Amino acid sequence: MKLNNKEYHCPVELVIEILDGKWKLLILRELMGGKRRFSELKRSIPGITQKMLSKQLKELERQGIIARTLYPQVPPKVEYSLTPIGEKLKKVFDAMHDWGIEYTKASSK
Domains in the chain and their CATH numbers?
Answer: 2-107 (1.10.10.10)
* Rounded Cα–Cα distance for residues 80 and 32 (Å): 11
Cis check: omega of the bond before 75, within 30 degrees of 0:
yes
- The pLDDT-based confidence of 36 (bands split at 50, 70, 90) is very high
- The pLDDT-based confidence of 3 (bands split at 50, 70, 90) is confident
Q: CA dihedral in degrees (15, 18, 23, 24; nearest 10)?
A: -90
Nearest Cα to Cα of residue 65 among 81, 44, 42, 48: 81
Nearest Cα to Cα of residue 81 among 40, 23, 21, 20: 40
Has this prediction a pTM greater than 0.85? yes
CA R_g for the chain: 16
